[in-house]
């Protein structure tokens, strides 16, 4: 194991918790004293900073929601003055106003440091050429990874998204050893490369992919690793917390959440109470050290579970497991909860289908109707109707087993579903139209 900052990353858990408590206490006092929003919230909730006597007292503090950010658009939330800000990022939501995040110089340093630890834990460092194919600009992916990669002494190839053929040429010519992008974009890139006669596994030096910004599954990891000859690591973050911040270590068993930066809770989204360790719930984060926009008990809306068991890598910080989906991503089909990631998991276990799929939900009469359109793998594409029927039955069976609800399957030609350069859109829900 190689840590970027061993003093913090390998600190005994009891010390880490003490540090978190100190940071939490300072944060709560600061926000109570200087932020009208938090002051009023805490008063309304009848909690005073003096009530925080130990780390678990975080439970006494009120939750925060995305709506709070929208209602305070663009910057009523900031706890640093305009002169102290060195950057804005803006994340577009599907409804309402976007979220604006401001950063002081220290906030950028903290974010960069978080990524330096994360990228090092995924085995990257000096000598690597990291192709950053996340969007640069208002989205946090491009600049976030860029700063993190430079910090560890790697060479950055800042390609951003798009212009895929040129990206593949540069990947070969400059010998990129790692790529950071959405899983959907890497899939697209792999296909474009094959059309150009380039095998990423054989004709490039690419060995590591840092994939995130949208949900993906273990089965998809298996497929991408064997197809592209890479190790694929999940990376997580949201703009409200800074951007991408946490990556899996080489154990590939969840993201280490740096405890000096974030205090995480997993709660039952309905009751707001903590779930038992290892159970699934909504990730809620208190970001402990940010100057311009700290957050207390922010309900991110992502569904996951947490693991405080020691990691074989030696890092002592807790791990959050792969995001299963968002609270608002969940489809309810005939009363059954269905996450797009379950569909992906089921499909990727069928070798005859490709990587691209789309879920179309409709209402037929009074009933929900779910159709899964999935591309055939090129090797299974055939005009023999009996072969196709057989594959369709197999896929329908598997989906039924995993989802407990019937899905009709339409097998489509390889390459016929939409491709995405940024975050993909896998669900078309026509029920509300």
Positions touching ligand DLL (CB under 6 A) are 91, 134, 140-141, 212-215, 234-239, 243-244, 300, 302, 323, 326
* Alpha-carbon distances of 406 from 156, 393, 397, 411, 419, rounded to whole Å: 46, 12, 9, 16, 26
Of 217 and 391, the one with the shorter C-beta distance to ligand DLL is 217
Question: Over the Cα atoms of the chain, what is R_g?
Answer: 22
424-427 contact pairs (CB < 8 A, 24+): 424/182, 424/184, 424/214, 426/340, 426/343, 426/344, 426/357, 426/358, 426/359, 427/329, 427/331, 427/340, 427/358, 427/359, 427/361
398-410: b or e for each residue (b if 16 or more CB lie within 10 Å)?
bbeebbebebebe
Question: What is the closest distance, in whole angstroms, from the C-beta atom of residue 282 to ligand DLL in the complex?
Answer: 11
Look at the chain and count its residues: 433
Question: What is the closest distance, in whole angstroms, from the C-beta atom of residue 235 to ligand DLL in the complex?
Answer: 5
Of 79 and 217, the one with the shorter C-beta distance to ligand DLL is 217
Ramachandran region, residue 111 (left: φ > 0; alpha: ψ -120 to 50; beta: rest): alpha
36-58: b or e for each residue (b if 16 or more CB lie within 10 Å)?
eebeebbeeeebebeebeebeeb
Question: What is the closest distance, in whole angstroms, from the C-beta atom of residue 178 to ligand DLL in the complex?
Answer: 14
- Helix or strand or coil: residue 358? strand
Question: What is the closest distance, in whole angstroms, from the C-beta atom of residue 429 to ligand DLL in the complex?
Answer: 17
Of 141 and 294, the one with the shorter C-beta distance to ligand DLL is 141
Of 208 and 238, the one with the shorter C-beta distance to ligand DLL is 238
CB-facing half-sphere around the CA of 114: CA atoms within 13 A:
31
Question: What is the closest distance, in whole angstroms, from the C-beta atom of residue 68 to ligand DLL in the complex?
Answer: 15
Question: What is the closest distance, in whole angstroms, from the C-beta atom of residue 1 to ligand DLL in the complex?
Answer: 22
Question: What is the closest distance, in whole angstroms, from the C-beta atom of residue 211 to ligand DLL in the complex?
Answer: 7
Of 237 and 354, the one with the shorter C-beta distance to ligand DLL is 237
Instruction: Yes or no: say if 208 and 228 are a contact pair by the CB < 8 Å rule.
Output: no
Of 42 and 249, the one with the shorter C-beta distance to ligand DLL is 249
Question: What element of type H or E holds 286?
Answer: strand 281-287
The dihedral through the CA atoms of 429, 303, 20, 244 has a sign that is negative
Of 102 and 215, the one with the shorter C-beta distance to ligand DLL is 215
Question: What is the closest distance, in whole angstroms, from the C-beta atom of residue 284 to ligand DLL in the complex?
Answer: 12
Question: What is the closest distance, in whole angstroms, from the C-beta atom of residue 145 to ligand DLL in the complex?
Answer: 7
Of 28 and 235, the one with the shorter C-beta distance to ligand DLL is 235
* Distance between CA atoms of residues 366 and 250, nearest Å: 49
Q: Which residue is nearest to ligand DLL (CB)?
A: 212
Within its chain, how far is the Cα of 231 from the centroid? 17
Instruction: Yes or no: say if 211 and 234 are a contact pair by the CB < 8 Å rule.
Output: yes
């Amino acid at each position: 194991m190689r840590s970027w900052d061993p003093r913090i990353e390998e600190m005994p858990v009891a010390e880490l918790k003490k540090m978190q408590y100190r940071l939490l206490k300072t944060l709560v006092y600061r926000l109570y004293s200087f932020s009208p929003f938090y002051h009023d919230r805490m008063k309304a909730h009848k909690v005073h900073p003096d009530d925080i006597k130990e780390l678990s007292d975080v439970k006494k503090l009120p939750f925060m929601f995305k709506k709070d950010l929208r209602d305070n658009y663009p910057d009523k939330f900031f706890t640093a003055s305009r002169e102290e800000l060195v950057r804005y990022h803006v994340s577009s939501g599907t409804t309402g106003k976007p979220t604006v995040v401001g950063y002081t110089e220290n906030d950028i340093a903290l974010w960069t440091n978080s990524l330096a630890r994360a990228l090092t834990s995924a085995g990257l460092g000096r000598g690597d050429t990291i192709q950053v194919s996340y969007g640069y600009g208002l989205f946090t992916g491009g600049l976030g990874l860029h700063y993190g990669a430079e910090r560890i002494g790697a060479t950055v190839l800042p390609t951003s998204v798009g212009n895929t053929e040129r990206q593949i040429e540069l990947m070969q010519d400059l010998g990129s050893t790692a790529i950071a992008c959405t899983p959907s974009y890497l899939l697209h890139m792999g296909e474009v490369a094959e059309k150009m006669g380039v095998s990423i596994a054989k004709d490039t030096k690419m060995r590591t992919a840092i994939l995130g910004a949208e949900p993906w599954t273990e089965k998809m990891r298996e497929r991408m690793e064997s197809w592209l000859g890479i190790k694929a690591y999940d990376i997580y973050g949201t703009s409200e917390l800074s951007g991408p911040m946490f990556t899996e270590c080489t154990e590939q068993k969840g993201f280490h959440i740096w405890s000096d930066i974030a205090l995480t809770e997993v709660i039952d989204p309905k009751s707001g109470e903590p779930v038992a360790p290892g159970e699934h719930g909504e990730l809620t984060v208190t970001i402990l050290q940010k100057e311009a926009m700290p957050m207390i008990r922010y309900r991110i809306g992502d569904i996951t579970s947490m693991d405080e068991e020691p990691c074989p890598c030696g890092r002592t910080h807790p791990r959050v497991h792969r995001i299963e989906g968002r609270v608002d991503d969940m489809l309810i089909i005939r009363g059954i909860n269905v996450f797009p990631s379950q569909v992906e998991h089921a499909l990727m276990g069928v070798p005859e289908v490709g990587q691209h799929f789309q879920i179309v939900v409709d209402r037929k009469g009074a009933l929900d109707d779910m159709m899964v359109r999935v591309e055939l793998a090129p090797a299974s594409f055939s005009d023999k109707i009996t072969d196709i029927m057989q594959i369709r039955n197999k896929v329908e069976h598997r989906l039924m087993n995993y989802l407990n609800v019937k899905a009709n399957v339409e097998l489509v030609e390889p390459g016929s579903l939409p491709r995405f350069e940024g975050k993909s859109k896998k669900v078309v829900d026509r029920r509300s139209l």
